[in-house]
Amino acid sequence: MKKLESKLILIEGLPSTGKSTTAELTKEILDEMNIDNELVLEGNLDHPADYDGVAYFTKNQLKKLKNKYSEYEEFINKIVEKREERHFISYIKRIKEYEDDFPKELFREIKKYDIYEIPLDLNRKLILNKWERFMKKVQKQDKVYIFECVFIQNPVTVSIIRNNASIDTAYSYIKELKDIIDELNPVLIYLEQNDIESSFNKVIEERPEWWLDFFIDYYTNYEFGEERNLEGLKGTIKGLKEIDSIQKELISKLEMEKYTLDNSHYNLEKSKNNIKNILKGIIK
């Protein structure tokens, strides 16, 4: 059976660059090559190395939550997960599970403690810890993982877009992630478009209105956008162009196997051939 020298393929790029499609094509190719693999797309609520829709509470914060919403204490005890001395609530999964039984006011309160809304240092600590646990798990497996958007995008989002931190701060975060997964021989594929504005407008047509509202809010009303006086869709696109440059600068500093693919063509056959050529180079 064929094997890849890498156990982790990382697909990155701006929204609208075709990351999900590329990740799915990568899985398709690995399946055709009879290589055991697992695809983990952005937004996966059971992500093995990241958190999506998960809130974090210290022991004291959890106690305060229970005191504030004492009428829901039994429900809180039912949905909280304890790992060592840390307390997590997978609130997006739980609201899907309990639907109308999840009190709206409690949901809104828990959401404030989302791991991507807490202070950067704590976010970084929790994320690195989860990557370390993922690393220990994967070392025992003979499987290739394909991750979309957790290696570059998430650290950049929480450090630069949210906090307007320096590029060095974002690089330090990503470098720590990279050091954790080094033994997996990770391969990074960064997708780009030659016309960011056109490609983003194309995605807008395919996504629901709430997605665009959320995206514009994040790019314009957090510290990155406020510092640059970004407003509306025009400001968001301007911000996207800057983030693209920042991400490319960060990637250029990383010492790892990496590829930049121009995905402006929106041609599945061409994309598949490009990925095949990359994978051929890392087959044992």
Domains of the chain: residue spans and CATH? 8-50+120-279 (3.40.50.300), 55-111 (no CATH)
Q: Are 51 and 127 in contact (CB under 8 A)?
A: yes
For residue 267, give the DSSP letter.
-
Proportion of the chain above pLDDT 70, given as a percent: 99
Split at pLDDT 50, 70, 90, the class of 206 is confident
- Residue 81, CA atoms < 13 Å, CB-side half-sphere: 10
Q: Say yes or no to pLDDT of 189 above 70.
A: yes
Q: Quote the pLDDT of residue 83.
A: 87
Position 84, amino acid: E
pTM attached to this predicted model = 0.94
Span 231-264, pLDDT tens digits: 999 999 999 999 999 999 999 999 999 999 999 9
Q: Are 196 and 234 in contact (CB under 8 A)?
A: no
Average pLDDT, the chain: 94
Position 61, amino acid: Q
Stretch among 127-136, 167-176, 205-214, 240-249 having the lowest mean pLDDT: 205-214
> How many whole angstroms separate alpha carbon 122 and alpha carbon 139?
26
Q: Say yes or no to pLDDT of 4 above 90.
A: no
Q: Say yes or no to pLDDT of 3 above 80.
A: no
Q: Quote the pLDDT of residue 140.
A: 85
- DSSP readout, 208-232? -HHHHHHHHHHHHHSHHHHHTT--H
> How many whole angstroms separate alpha carbon 34 and alpha carbon 32?
5
Q: Quote the pLDDT of residue 123.
A: 98
Per 3-state DSSP, the chain is made up of helix, strand and coil in percentages (nearest 5) of 60, 15, 30
Split at pLDDT 50, 70, 90, the class of 284 is low
For residue 137, give the DSSP letter.
H
Split at pLDDT 50, 70, 90, the class of 2 is low
Residues whose CB falls within 8 Å of the CB of residue 39, separated by 6 or more in sequence, listed in order: 23, 24, 26, 27, 146
Residues whose CB falls within 8 Å of the CB of residue 23, separated by 6 or more in sequence, listed in order: 11, 39, 41, 146, 147, 148
